[in-house]
Amino acid sequence: MSITIPEQVDYLFKKAIGYPETNTLNPAAAEQAYFSKPNVFTFQQLAQELPNNRPIDFILTSSPPGITVSNVCKSISYPYIYMYCNLTLQPAASGSSNAFYSPYLKNLISPSLSDAGLYAYKIFTNNLVNEITTDPRYKPTHIIDTDSGVLYFFTYPSFPTDPVLENKPPKVTFYRYEGLTGNVGIASLQEF
């Protein structure tokens, strides 16, 4: 089952007005606001190179405070590329089992950067037994909005022994850019 045209339109409309959580039970204005960036601003431009071939020289580093993650690793050759392993997401809104959030999903490196999919992210059920991104029943029925940090499921992933629920949110492994942003010719570069 794939994402239907009405679901796509609903999502894109709500993203455009700044509410990409897309809880189908609520009108757009009643949803939790996770503002997406409809325009590209200078501070959103990555100022450092993202190689087509994902780095393989990652070392373990400390996790940011307040998140649940198995490991955070940093590339030695590209110290602004991080790999987050099994980051536990939070429900995007109370009562929502189809949308989950983490500010660390912002600036996720797109899997399409590499033709071989070397930057591919993986979504798992809470106990890490089932990988949702490789299960043919659920691919491609989710979107990670890297502007707002929201993972939205159009088809609800339900594994009998390990369902994705508000109190059992999914975990994600991904690569993230945490380097400088802004026009390289401008002295005021910002760091994520």
| CB atoms inside a 10 Å sphere around CB 72 | 20
pLDDT of residue 104: 92
Over residues 20-30, mean pLDDT:
58
pLDDT of residue 35: 59
pLDDT of residue 36: 59
Paired residues of 151 in beta bridges: 100, 144
Which residue did the predictor score with more confidence, 1 or 147?
147
| CB atoms inside a 10 Å sphere around CB 145 | 21
| CB atoms inside a 10 Å sphere around CB 38 | 10
pLDDT of residue 17: 58
pLDDT of residue 150: 92
| CB atoms inside a 10 Å sphere around CB 32 | 17
Taking only the tens place, the pLDDT of each residue in 112-124 is: 787 777 888 999 9
Find, among 176, 12, 155, 16, the residue nearest to 102 by Cα: 176
Return the percentage of the chain with pLDDT > 70, whole number: 72
Which residue did the predictor score with more confidence, 186 or 132?
132
Taking only the tens place, the pLDDT of each residue in 47-105 is: 888 898 899 999 998 877 777 777 899 999 999 999 999 999 999 887 767 899 999 99
pLDDT band at 185 (very low <50, low <70, confident <90, very high): low
Taking only the tens place, the pLDDT of each residue in 140-166 is: 678 888 888 999 887 766 777 778 888
